[in-house]
């Protein structure tokens, strides 16, 4: 016996604990969402994600900001041009 739950159903952990059952959490969002979450730190470090201090601070449109940051990125075994 075990409980299989979406990671966003946070109360499932309490239920599993109270019944003494193991919990398996799955991330059901799309692949793009998962990839952005996985690479967020990298994208911030490269200045690609326009948080405060980047595009928002300079009041530029995101597209203008990204054009300035256009570069080839190596993510794992694939190359992407941003």
Strand partners, 73: 80
In this prediction, residue 17 carries a pLDDT of: 94
Whether 73 has a pLDDT exceeding 70, the answer reads no
Whether 81 has a pLDDT exceeding 90, the answer reads no
In this prediction, residue 11 carries a pLDDT of: 93
CA 15 – CA 61 distance, rounded (Å): 46
Burial status of residue 55 (CB atoms within 10 A of its CB: 0-12, 13-18, 19 or more): buried
**Per-residue pLDDT tens over the stretch 43-52:** 777 777 765 5
In this prediction, residue 28 carries a pLDDT of: 81
Are 4 and 16 in contact by the 8 Å Cβ rule? The answer is no
Task: Give the three-class secondary structure for 38.
Answer: helix
């Amino acid at each position: 016996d075990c409980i299989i739950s979406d990671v966003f159903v946070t109360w499932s952990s309490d239920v599993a604990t109270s019944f003494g059952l193991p919990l398996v959490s799955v991330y059901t969002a799309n692949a793009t969402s998962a990839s952005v979450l996985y690479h967020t730190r990298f994208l911030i470090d490269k200045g690609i994600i326009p948080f405060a201090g980047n595009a928002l601070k300079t009041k530029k449109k995101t597209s203008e900001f990204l054009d300035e940051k256009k570069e080839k990125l190596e993510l794992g075994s694939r190359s992407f041009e941003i």
